[in-house]
Amino acid sequence: MEQLIYLDTHAIVWLYIDEFKKFPTDTLKLIENHPVRISPMVLLELGYLHEIGRLQNSGKTIIETLKHTLELRICDLDHIKIIESALELR
């Protein structure tokens, strides 16, 4: 099974604004060498940040840009299955 890298909202914003120094070198290598995914909630959070003026560009613009530069994809898995799998990790 291929390793996927899931990023949170902060990481997406940092990548979008070229704040690569905020990432450890090993993390950047993982992002460069593996498929990158986000939860649909990241898109919602980006929308809220744009709405309150914390982001200049819309979430849709940010995600569309990163889709091309990172081959970023929005995860389409059932959230309940993801949560159940995560809870089993220890």
Distance CA 41, CA 66 (A): 16
Which tens digits make up the pLDDT trace of 51-78?
999 999 999 999 999 999 888 999 888 7
Q: 31 is written with which tokens?
A: 């992002």
Give the global pTM.
0.82
Sequence-separated (6 or more) residues with CB below 8 Å from residue 2 = 34, 35
